[in-house]
Structure 1
């Protein structure tokens, strides 16, 4: 009989909540317990629609993981980042495979692979798929329309980098403190304002305040909620909905003064459509037929999910961004389309 004892891991110590008064975005909180019935999903679909059209960011609670389970995931997430030396990380830099168990991993991480795999599957089947069904309902489409376009066994990558680890769409990322010189160069912006490439992004909330979204009133901070997920929309969903649901512009900035001595550990599940999906509007949606469709290009010229992912990835950091006619915006061309970066 297999052992039920979990392997021990070092305890990841999170930062205390900031005591600074920040201008937070007022985001909706989606309670996933309501998704268990058709009636509850109908109610949630309205809440999700309003959240998507207001900010494109919202919280998810009651997602199926308890607070101790979530803390355990952050403990494990820190293992390959803090418990593996740079030399060993480089050995695994080329590990790319769609399933976590099909490649080798650093020695320190190996005892935890079954838990990471279970966590990945939980994100996909118990959180992502129900959310995609709710988005489909907001478009007045059959529930499975979008979830069928985001299969678990589609093309996925797994690889290690010095401060970032990827497994089957799951990314573990650790942001460390920076020098005053670097802060001055970037004006305290760690990651410029941008839209994600995929459809939905699931970010497990952590206490270091650094994430901001661009609202009609300017940049607003994202508040940490214990054991909650932060969900945002990306390019692919904007393509598929003909601009009805916008990808949300967000950035990462220097944390408040009372949190600057702490690393910021992120656990993220990125959702992208299957590689062969053509990113054209779902014209069969009665909602899109009523509100109208804004195409970024002709359907015949639209990229597939793979083409868009590859174009965005290859372009990142590879050249000079050109200044836009719009203030504080820079541009680059990906697959013949303009991608904006917000300073």
Structure 2
């Protein structure tokens, strides 16, 4: 893929990588340069399978965009935040509670984080069909490039889904067929900007910017950026940082993939916290592709998997009570950061029930 260099866009200057000595998670690397052959996909499927079964995250390299092309996409990602006047943004606010959708702006201080502190995160979310909603005037010149970029992300998604199907010894298109480009689903690009908080709010919130959570959809594709803040809850029970890898992707499974894989692929708990000291005065700009299966898919374990026949299915609900993607997605979207959570018997864990599924949040 080639990202068009026109029209010009103001350059976003990210923070330099941290120099602090952090404890990083050890993640597998999937090299998409090997994905063009059946032999290469078989090799990559083993890496992806083990990563999502044991940890829930992995890196992707050689994804098809050069470093300058990726940098231009980050420049474009900043446009909704730095170029659109604040007074114009409410026109494009997402109907998060009303429609259970993030399409449009999520303003700052919308989610409750911890200790009475609201978030300082602004997001702008664009459906994979970029013409589905109207966008701010300042962003419109870049929509053709965003459309190409979104399609490229979906192509990467399809490759990931094929690898995960191979890992379960299913037909390669088993999961691809549940994520149609032209189907009714909520696959979208999120541009996401974190702003520094006051020292008082950091103390009240315990340095947490987003509570530990699992993603709602099937696969999340995060374009790596240099501000360290993302952590995962590793299998040993410790929070570990995700290392920035230049021009790489960070991939994780969400709840829908965990359900569809009978618990084999783990929706790993992750959180965002205050960056290291040498990055704390910088904004953190992110680009994420959130993939979700088609709205009418019932979240049942894949049938016909020899792997699941051997290891068994880990159920979060009985098959007869399985929600559809639409009901589960809308419920999670509308409730996140807005509902009063109940304290679990386990220290530091709060819970809510969405479409019959117990959803946990971690402080």
Q: TM-score range by the shorter chain?
A: over 0.9
Paired positions, count: 329
Contact 1:283 1:289 in 2 (8 A): no
Distance 1:34 1:131 in 2: 12
Tell me how far apart the structure 2 counterparts of residues 107 and 297 of structure 1 sit (CA, whole Å): 45
RMSD, aligned α-carbons: 1.4
1:234 alignment counterpart: 254
Q: What secondary structure, in the 3-state scheme, does the structure 2 residue paired with 1:144 have?
A: coil
Larger deviation: 86-95 or 252-261? Answer: 86-95
Q: Counterparts in 2 of 1:60-79, with a 5 A limit?
A: 60-79=60-79
Q: TM-score, normalised by structure 2?
A: 0.88
Aligned with 1:206 (options 225, 229, 233): 225
* Alpha-carbon distance change, 30 to 122 in structure 1, aligned in 2, over 3 angstroms: same
Match of 2:111 in 1: none
Among 193, 197, 200, the residue aligned to 2:212: 193
CA distance in 2, matches of 1:241, 1:5: 40
1:123 pairs with 153, 163, 182, which one? 153
Corresponding position of 1:286: 306
Counterpart secondary structure, 1:10: coil
For 1:297 and 1:124, how far apart are their aligned partners in 2? 29
| 2:128–2:189 CA contact under 8 A, matched in 1 | no
Asked if the contact 1:243–1:294 (Cα under 8 Å) also holds between the matched residues in 2, the reply is yes
CA–CA separation in structure 2 for the residues paired with 1:118 and 1:103: 17
Distance 1:9 1:44, change over 3 A: same
Partner residue in 1 for 2:234: 215
The one-character-per-residue Cα deviations of 1:192-247 (angstroms, maximum 9, x if unpaired) are 00000011100000000000000123000000000000000110011111111110
The reply on whether 1:274 has 2:304 as its aligned counterpart is no
- Which residue in 1 is equivalent to 2:168? 139
Matched, 1:304 2:324: yes
User: How far apart, CA to CA, are the structure 2 residues paired with 1:115 and 1:67?
Assistant: 16
| CA displacement, residues 45-94 of structure 1 (integer Å, 9 cap, x when unaligned) | 11111111221100000000000100000000001111111111112225
Give yes or no for the alignment of 1:113 onto 2:132: no
Are 2:281 and 1:261 aligned?
yes
Contact persistence 2:79–2:139 (CA under 8 A):
yes
**Contact (CA 8 Å) 2:54, 2:235: kept in 1 or not?**
no
3-state SS, counterpart of residue 52 of structure 1 = helix
Question: TM-score, structure 1 length as denominator?
Answer: 0.93
1:154 and 2:179 correspond = no
Structure 1 residues 241 and 103: CA distance shift in structure 2, 3 A: closer
Residue of structure 2 equivalent to 1:39: 39
Cα distance in structure 2, aligned partners of 1:141 and 1:103: 36
Aligned to 1:58: 58
Gaps of 5+ in 2: 95-102, 105-126
Query: 1:162 maps to what in 2?
Result: none
Query: SS at the partner of 1:59?
Result: strand
Q: Secondary structure at the match of 1:100?
A: coil
Unaligned runs of 5+ in 1: 158-167
Task: Tell me which residue corresponds to 1:92.
Answer: 92
* Contact kept? 1:195, 1:234, Cα under 8 Å: yes
The separation in 2 between residues aligned to 1:78 and 1:5, in whole angstroms, is 16
What is the CA-CA distance between 1:327 and the residue it aligns to? 2.1
Instruction: Quote the residue 2:29 is aligned against.
Output: 29
Tell me if structure 2 keeps the 8 A contact 1:98–1:153.
no
Assess, with a 3 A threshold, how the Cα gap between structure 1 residues 98 and 69 changes in structure 2: closer, same or farther. Answer: closer
Q: How far apart are residue 98 of structure 1 and its match?
A: 6.1
Shift of 1:336: 1.8
- Residue 104 (structure 1) aligned with residue 123 (structure 2): no
Q: Which moved more, 1:284-293 or 1:46-55?
A: 46-55
Residue-by-residue CA offset, 1:26-47 (whole Å, 9 max, x unaligned):
1111100110000100111111
Tell whether the 8 Å contact from 1:98 to 1:156 is kept in structure 2 after alignment: no
